[in-house]
Amino acid sequence: MGWNDFSLPACGEFYDNEDGSSRQEELRSLEPGDVLALVREPENAHDRMAVAIFTARGIRVGYLRRDRAVWIGSKIDRGFPVNAIVQRVKGIDLAGATLGLVMRVNMEGDLPELPEGRADVVWEDAA
């Protein structure tokens, strides 16, 4: 496992996007290891520090929590190579459950690696 990789939960996964695309439907299509893009949204009307999470298909599936967005967004703004992948989709095996996203992130230019044997481990409070 990459020594600089860490796990982060997303937030806002249950909202639909402005273009009508469903974040929940997009989450259903994801697999562990799928590449994600973290994109700063300085023009976001709700939070100028927002960092959105997009899939490889260009669908927004959520955001970083504000405290993480400030930290990681500042790295993105300064040109640090921030990479993310899907670690797991919470609730995917529960019929009718609202889905959530846990991702692996690396800010050293490497593609993060999934934790061996424990894709469900999250190293911070997911609340």
pLDDT in 10s for each residue of the chain, 127 residues = 567 899 999 999 999 999 999 999 999 999 999 999 999 999 999 999 999 999 999 999 999 999 999 999 999 999 999 999 999 999 999 998 999 999 999 999 999 999 986 545 444 444 4
Block residue for tokens 């937030």: 11
72 CB burial (10 A radius; 0-12, 13-18, 19+): buried
Q: Which amino acid is at 81?
A: P
